[in-house]
Amino acid sequence: MANLRTPLYDWHAAHKGRMVPFAGWDMPVQYAGIIEEHKAVRTGAGLFDVSHMARLSFDGPDTLPLLEEVFTNSVAGMKEGQVRYGLICREDGGILDDVLVYKWPYGYAMVVNAGNREKIVAWLTERAAGKQVKLIDQTFDTCLIAVQGPKAVELVSGLFADDVSKLKYYYATPTRYRNAGCMVSRTGYTGEDGFEVGLPNALAVPFWEELIAKGAVPCGLGARDTLRLEAAMPLYGHELNEQTDPISAGLGWAVKLDKGEFVGRQALKELPDTRPVRVGLELDGKRAAREGSEVFVDGSALGAVTSGSFVPHLQKSIAMAYLPKKYAAVGTPVLIDLRGTKVDAKVVPLPFYRRKS
């Protein structure tokens, strides 16, 4: 089956975007180069086509009960325009996806990982049975473009009918771009300030090119991955999967055990203390740890790396891994097996990178 394409596919292909298959889509992994793109986001502004992310909306009086049932974070207390991060879990606490829930004036919406779209739609549809709620998959109706970096606010200034610089972090607003309805959200996946903008498909290229003309650098999935790694944001399929739970993944802040019943709550309340937890590791030297590299403590392989790279901004070899709690303390020395060579590393605090506010 042919991969899906975003409204910017032709633009990417015509501008040296190296297209790779990702989660059922053809997406650019880089244009000029991952390192250059990464640095542009840390020092200026980068532009990401994230139209592959699944966008669902909900309609009907039972929307709130459905969302409270499937989402680990609280929905009832959300203010209009607020965005909340949380997990969708199985009964046993295993993570089905990490998602954003949006509260709009007219209802709720959800942004889901591209690779989990079909799974989550099926899960929600099953859970919605017998409830008065309609689930609408709007992924293909609009594009989603992220503008990220310290210059993001300056770059979007004047583009929208409303002043989006006043949006608080994790808030969103409907507004207009070139007289068409759009939405702007103060969210992102890079560790920088910035926006994610949902637009009609026909405005994808004009918006993209207008921002490039103002100095934003087009960035591919490669830089998106190294940026989120520096910011220690977990990635589904790597740090998160159905065998991991949100508490062990360090996402307990997005799990509200006291909000009432939700799928996975009981299992998460009774989680055994023996589960390994997500840690940050910094390696000696410039060699990178990769997903699957074994982590040794006191001579035994006790965990494995979930993501790792020599990252462009920090100029360090860093990794995330799961380790038993007793070895998760900052400063714990470990060895990481890189293709037969054991390299010294130590547990360091997360995130690796935090922007100056």
Partner 1 sequence: MTTPPDLRYATSHEWVKLDGDVATVGVTKFAVEQLTEPTFLELKKVGLTVKPGDEVGIIESVKSTSSIYAPVAGEVIAVNADAVNDLAKVNDDPFGGGWMLKIKLAPGASLDHLLTATQYDAQIAGH
Applying CB under 8 A, the residues found at the interface with partner 1 are 18, 29-30, 33-35, 38, 222, 225-226, 286-288, 290, 309-312, 338-339
> Min. distance of Cβ 221 from partner 1 in angstroms?
10
> Min. distance of Cβ 230 from partner 1 in angstroms?
11
Q: How far apart are CA 187 and CA 271, in angstroms?
A: 31
Nearer to partner 1, 32 or 271 (CB): 32
Nearer to partner 1, 246 or 312 (CB): 312
Q: How far apart are CA 304 and CA 121, in angstroms?
A: 31
Q: Tokens for 140, please give them.
A: 């293909």
* Contacts for 189 with CB less than 8 Å, ≥ 6 apart: 50, 146, 148, 224, 227, 228, 231, 233
Would you list the DSSP string of 69-121?
Answer: HHBSS--TTPPTTBEEEEEEE-TTS-EEEEEEEEEETTEEEEEE-GGGHHHHH
Nearer to partner 1, 178 or 287 (CB): 287
> Min. distance of Cβ 227 from partner 1 in angstroms?
11
Q: Comparing C-alpha atoms, which of 208, 240, 210 is closest to residue 50? A: 208
Residue type, 87: L
Asked whether the beta carbons of 239 and 277 are under 8 A apart, the reply is: no
Nearer to partner 1, 194 or 308 (CB): 308
Query: Euclidean distance between the first and final Cα of the chain, in Å?
Result: 45
Asked whether the beta carbons of 18 and 28 are under 8 A apart, the reply is: yes
* Apex 220 CA angle, 156 and 231, nearest 5: 80
> Min. distance of Cβ 223 from partner 1 in angstroms?
9
Nearer to partner 1, 29 or 78 (CB): 29
> Min. distance of Cβ 3 from partner 1 in angstroms?
16
Cα–Cα separations (whole angstroms), residue 180 to 159, 167, 175: 12, 20, 8
Nearer to partner 1, 218 or 222 (CB): 222
Nearer to partner 1, 251 or 335 (CB): 335
Q: Tokens for 165, please give them.
A: 């610089």
> Min. distance of Cβ 226 from partner 1 in angstroms?
5
> Min. distance of Cβ 38 from partner 1 in angstroms?
8
Nearer to partner 1, 183 or 311 (CB): 311
Burial of 209 (0-12, 13-18, 19+ CB in 10 A): middle
